[in-house]
Amino acid sequence: MAGKFELKKSKNDKFYFSLLASNGQVILSSEMYEAKASAVNGIESVKKNGGDAARYDKLSAKDGSPYFTLKAGNGQVIGQSQMYASEATRDAGIQSCVNHAPGAAVVDQTAA
């Protein structure tokens, strides 16, 4: 099973997406978007930029937990990871994004 994007609608009628690895684990989540088209554009941006390891910023939360963000060519953050237990698992998460993002299918779960 390949990775996939899940496009969803929140309870407050905003749109967001997650990139899931082949094992079903969320490896990247988007911000909330007002319009579905904006979320779809965000997915396309992740597909375009996600295969480039240079687009990832390795960061640490206030509590020291490692995480990463993915930036578009214009420097805007287009996705953020979960918090990881170690830098090694964070780096593995980045590699998973690099591997999965460019060719991931989109599953639209907004039409309910």
Q: Are 110 and 15 in contact (CB under 8 A)?
A: yes
Q: Give me the pLDDT at residue 111, please.
A: 75
Question: 12: which residues sit within 8 A by CB, 6+ positions away?
Answer: none
Predicted local confidence at residue 108, as pLDDT: 96
Q: What is the pLDDT of residue 2?
A: 76
Intervals of the chain under pLDDT 70: 1, 112
Give the model's pLDDT for residue 112. Answer: 56
State how far the Cα of 87 lies from the Cα of 64, in Å rounded to an integer.
Answer: 10
pLDDT at position 81 is 96
